[in-house]
């Protein structure tokens, strides 16, 4: 490592509602935060055409525009927003220790506190037609986007608890929900399966996969293939929801931070504290339940406040140690 390594008070890894909210609070607390945006500046909301459920926007707001405004608000208080990706970390397990992060496999920075807001990426099917129509009727969040398909026919892919929950949510506002399960049974809990079975406007299809999403500019239909018989069928829909899971973007922290079996960072109850002092996790990197912009922003606020208190306590300890040595 170079001897001239930049040292900062607060490093925020990842942007989006969690990262930018953490930056706003950290900057207002004179922590002079530096935020590295990651590969997808603004996070998952940059792929959303309209955000209708974030407080303060009575007419809704375009997802990318909302992220630009959050960034501008963070910068107004002095946040240093940098385009770049943290590719490696070396975390200290000592209170008051210095954490190190490598940027784009090149330069290093040192930080007294680290706030992780790397988020989670929705898993998609990988079909070219699906990727082409993301934001044009293909979504990975029924709670976020389902409202726009009220009174319409939609489809959802997945067989777990989340898929069942989102299918029943959509069934309450949509005319018909076609649910595609790849295997001959669901992996969801029995309670969730019963909820789907008892919802009349859910058309449950087993051994079924998406062969192609139909439509030029927006979703107009779906070609379905039965993976047991090879038979294909086309249905008319206006929205397709993918509910096959998320992958938290936390790989670089493995070996340091406590995580669950999927990779979500485990934080101490009612805090954003991780098992390493001075390292905090917020947003979807530690939330596998709610995964909403507003809850991500809330935990971003918590992370900044936790980091501020940690800095105050660790600096107090540093000041008292020399005095203790002299006595």
- The residues assigned a catalytic role are 141, 144-145
CB 246 within 8 A of CB 121: yes
CB 207 within 8 A of CB 227: yes
Q: Residue 138 corresponds to which tokens in the numbers above?
A: 């293909």
Cα 196 to Cα 170: distance, rounded to the nearest angstrom: 11
Sheet holding 138-139, edge to edge: 138-139, 239-242, 153-157, 176-180, 202-205
The CB density around residue 97, as the number of other CB atoms within 10 Å, is: 14
DSSP assignment string, 161-196: HHHHHHHHHHHHHSSEEEEE-SSSS--S-HHHHHHH
Q: Residue 127 corresponds to which tokens in the numbers above?
A: 């079909």
Which of 205, 208, 202, 201 minimizes the C-alpha distance to 230?
Answer: 208
Q: Residue 258 corresponds to which tokens in the numbers above?
A: 């406590």
DSSP 265: B
Give the pairing of strands 138-139 and 239-242.
parallel
DSSP 263: -
Which of 244, 243, 48, 239 minimizes the C-alpha distance to 155?
Answer: 239
SS3 143: helix
SS (H, E, C) 117-133: CCCEEECCCCCHHHHHC
């Amino acid at each position: 490592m170079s001897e001239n390594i930049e040292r900062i008070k607060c490093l925020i890894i990842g942007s989006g509602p969690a990262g930018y909210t953490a930056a706003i609070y950290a900057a207002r607390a004179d922590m002079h935060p530096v935020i590295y945006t990651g590969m997808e500046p603004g996070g998952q909301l940059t792929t959303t055409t309209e955000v209708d459920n974030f407080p303060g926007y009575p007419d809704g707001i375009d997802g990318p525009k909302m992220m630009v405004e959050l960034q501008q608000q963070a910068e107004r208080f002095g946040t240093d927003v940098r385009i770049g990706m943290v590719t490696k970390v070396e975390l200290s397990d000592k209170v008051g220790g210095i954490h190190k992060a490598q940027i784009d496999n090149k330069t290093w920075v040192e930080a007294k506190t680290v706030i992780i807001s790397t988020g989670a990426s929705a898993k998609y099917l990988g079909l070219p037609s699906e990727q082409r129509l993301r934001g044009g009727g293909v979504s990975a969040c029924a709670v976020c986007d389902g409202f726009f398909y009220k009174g319409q026919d939609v489809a959802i892919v997945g067989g777990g608890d989340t898929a069942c929950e989102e299918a029943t949510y959509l069934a309450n506002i949509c005319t018909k929900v076609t649910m595609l399960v790849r295997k001959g049974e669901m992996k969801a809990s029995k309670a969730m399966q019963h909820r789907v079975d008892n919802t009349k406007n859910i058309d449950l299809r087993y051994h079924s996969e998406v062969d192609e999403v139909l439509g030029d500019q927006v979703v107009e239909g779906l070609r379905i293939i039965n993976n047991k018989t090879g038979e294909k069928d086309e249905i008319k829909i206006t929205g397709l929801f993918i509910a096959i899971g998320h992958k938290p973007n936390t790989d670089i922290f493995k070996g340091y931070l406590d995580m669950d079996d999927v990779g979500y960072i485990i934080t101490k109850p009612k805090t954003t504290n991780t098992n390493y002092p001075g390292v905090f996790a917020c947003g979807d990197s530690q939330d596998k339940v709610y995964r909403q912009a507003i809850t991500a922003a809330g935990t971003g606020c918590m992370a900044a406040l936790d980091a501020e208190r940690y800095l105050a306590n660790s600096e107090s300890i540093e000041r008292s140690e020399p005095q203790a040595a002299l006595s």
